[in-house]
Homo-oligomer: A and B are copies of this chain.
Amino acid sequence: MFYYVGIDLGGTNTKIGILDIEGNIYENTSIKTLSANGAQKTLERIWGTAKEIAQKSSVDIKNIKGIGIGIPGPVINQSVVAFFANFPWGQNVNIKEMMEKISGIETKLDNDVNIIALGEAKFGAAKGSKASVTIALGTGIGGGIYVDGHLISGFTGAGGEVGHMKLVMNGRLCGCGQRGCFEAYASATGLVREATSRLIVNKNNLLYEKINGKLDILEAKHIFDAAKEGDKFSLDLVDYEAEYLAMGIGNILNIINPEIIVLSGGVALAGDILINPLKEKLKKYALPVVTKDIKFVQGILGNQAGIKGSIGLFI
């Protein structure tokens, strides 16, 4: 029997697992990334840990057939990282080659959100579907597009960057420096931003009570919780969120026409209070032919999406 090492390289922590080709995890752990030590040293330490946990689960290194890595940044041809979102590791770094020299084992990589999408498509909430789009709704909005067995990773490694699709010409400033991005409106940050701006002029609501008037502690979860308790002010914010989410997802449906949309990340946890109006509003933003059979599901792989998804690169 053959095994694979799945690696979810993160800004702070890196998850490492020993898996089989069906995505079953035999052993896994998490270590500090300590990226300041550079790419070479960091990969060496990760490989060292991988060997340790392989031993722990009685897996012979000779039976490890591949190493899959999810990377925070654009990845070209499952090999070269154009740039790293958080690390000072330079540009156009051939991580595949570096890891293969260290380990002697075939290595493949892709962008971390693409890897999550691949995980949900191969082993998770979209398993069995020919075409799925996974949208990670958190601090930002990321995406991964899976069609006919493969990720659309993009010519320069930036396929699926749906968060920077523009919804408003000359709209709200986004963290990327451009204006009117999907992410600037419908991410958790976008929602908190809108809520904060409204709370400054309207304090007579349950949401304001819940945070004891401390605007700096406001999170998306507070808004959904207050909405679930019937707070009109918060329900209006959920409507705002659903509207921009429908416009952004509607555009994705018109362009890709997938079978299923997987929502992951904090905002997706809101559940029906958000998904129901989203589905209703979608009818304004996408053609009937792409909305009539569309399925919405929540991602199910959670913290394991990264290490599982990276194994998907070998299927």
Task: Collect the chain B residues with CB atoms within 8 Å of residue A143's CB.
Answer: 255
A156 touches B284 (CB 8 A): no
A169 touches B169 (CB 8 A): no
Q: Which of B157, B162, B287 is in CB contact (< 8 Å) with A176?
A: B287
A155 touches B247 (CB 8 A): no
Task: Collect the chain B residues with CB atoms within 8 Å of residue A153's CB.
Answer: 257
CB-contacts of A70-95 with B (<8 A): 74, 82-83
Can you list 27 pairs linking A and B with CB atoms under 8 Å apart? A74-B289, A130-B155, A131-B155, A147-B147, A152-B152, A153-B257, A155-B259, A156-B257, A156-B290, A156-B293, A157-B257, A158-B254, A158-B289, A159-B255, A160-B255, A161-B290, A162-B254, A164-B287, A166-B250, A166-B251, A166-B285, A167-B169, A169-B243, A178-B284, A178-B287, A179-B284, A252-B255
Name A residues whose Cβ lies closer than 8 Å to a Cβ of B.
74, 82-83, 130-131, 143, 145, 147-148, 150, 152-162, 164-169, 176, 178-179, 243, 247, 250-252, 254-259, 284-287, 289-290, 292-293
